A and B are shown apart, each in its own frame.
Chain A
């Protein structure tokens, strides 16, 4: 009813007004890829502002997992909840971020189906910018998720020896890795038809990736062949790095590992994603 009253109140579009805006229109110089990607990032932030419900996964997942693992398994795995928390929290931080990247694909799948993507694709801008912008906007989600985990950890008694610097550095590295990993989900979201199937397939990748790692337990307790798998899982290296930085050490070799796997993720899934995006519908 609100809309109708505004409609009635609104003046009709007069030819003069229309002529005015058509004549006043300029054709500014075309902005570069960085600028257009950032503008699409701004769109993602606006969407968070208008649809804050989309942050539910970012807040609920991490809280649930931290509490569940610390209290359910802490005693059994490490003798006490406190001791286990010291080991677990950096791992949970990694898992939470990886989980949240998954949602990037689901959100994008829904978004791309909408007519507005046709408009974006018909603009004379660098073609990947809507996707890059969406992924940049997601960095905000990862940051919120990380902040929640760390804050909850501090409340429960987690004490990072590495101090604020260690925490900030490890989160920064997590953001880099998450941004790169999200190209995998973006690719999936262009291959699969519905958000549901994206969610399904993502889960199938996600669970082995995060559980067959050193996030929850020290791999020394696992059979040899499984240790070998854990060893090549990039998530293991990421968790080691985050643990190290938070503990005040700088595992340089492991950091290199994480950066290389980040670059590889983009180098492989970025171009495939773009080819799929160009061919979409």
Chain B
């Protein structure tokens, strides 16, 4: 894990007055998943486009797999694949035509290209949809063909730009499984996301970016320690037990516990999810009946609040570029 797959220093890109990327330093080790987490407009896509040699940085340097993205763009392109945020295959063509097109462009003969396309469609559960136009695919199928298209020649490094935005939970899980499978085979994955739980589930290390700058970097555990792991919400059977429950929770969790407006509910910001089970056990031992409890992940907004002291201005939505 010592080798760096991506290294950037002071990477910058502006569009007119917008400083889309305002000095990004990244060090991504080879193997594993690196997550770039940030709200819409943070500069994730712009960063990826520079790393994939599609955009020339205004300033700074970037090496991908040891090659400079400006001077050695061609070497970078032969070793990486990009799965863009929007429509990264031709929607008018069918699934098999798209893969065959890429296979031919990458040097496969027509028969070998056909075989490769069929194998990929099979592996991604798209064999039934091979001859259907991609514009008629569902969101989940669409994402799978996008990723399959990036694997026609297996890359050493793959960029996935918001691979699960707008997907239903089941399709999202499939994409996660694909990402894990890629990593198991030694591919380095850099993915961007607006979802904290996604970065948490998949990424070995996470860079949180906002306004084109990295505002926090570390493993999921390190980041969580810095902004808390979320909140515990508890409902009791009897309102008169609330004061006692509050005392027990505060004791085990070692944080402030807030009584809610609802007379039987309580909530607490937690820093260590491990203690939650112990806290619940402690309540039951004390004879306090809990009718309901929920563990909430901190939202991206809470994370931003914790990191920057200001809420993220733009709430995640799909339409903006």
Contact = CB atoms under 8 A, between A and B. Distances in A.
Contacts of A27: 107, 153
Interface in A1-34: 2-4, 6-7, 9-13, 15, 17-31
A115 B181 contact: no
B84 interface: yes
A15 B187 CA distance: 14
B254 to A, nearest CB: 40
A159 interface: no
A9 B171 CA distance: 13
Nearest to B144: A13
A124 B184 contact: no
Candidate in B91, B92, B154 with the most chain A CB atoms within 10 angstroms: B92
A62 B104 CA distance: 35
A18 B93 contact: no
Contacts of B122: 17
A3 B141 contact: yes
Interface stretch (B29-37, B131-139, B221-229, B238-246): B131-139
Interface in B48-73: 49, 52-56
B119 A21 contact: yes
A122 B80 CA distance: 9
B84 A115 contact: yes
Contacts of A2: 136
Interface residues of A, number: 50
B231 interface: no
Nearest to B149: A119
A43 B104 CA distance: 11
B125 interface: yes
A21 B88 contact: no
Interface in B112-126: 112, 116, 119-120, 122-126
Interface stretch (A46-54, A97-105, A143-151, A207-215): A46-54
Contacts of B74: 124
B108 A22 contact: no
A47 B177 contact: no
Given A24-B119, A119-B89, A9 B128 contact: yes
B167 to A, nearest CB: 11
B152 A25 contact: yes
B178 interface: yes
Given A6-B141, A51-B92, A30 B136 contact: no
B88 A18 contact: no
Nearest to B74: A124
Contact of B106 (A3, A28, A121): A28
Interface of B: 49, 52-56, 74, 77-78, 80-82, 84-94, 97, 101-102, 104-109, 112, 116, 119-120, 122-129, 133, 136-138, 140-141, 144, 149, 151-154, 171, 174, 177-178, 180-182, 184-185, 187
Top 9 nearest A-B pairs (CB, nearest first) are: A28-B107, A10-B125, A18-B181, A3-B138, A17-B123, A25-B154, A115-B87, A115-B86, A124-B77
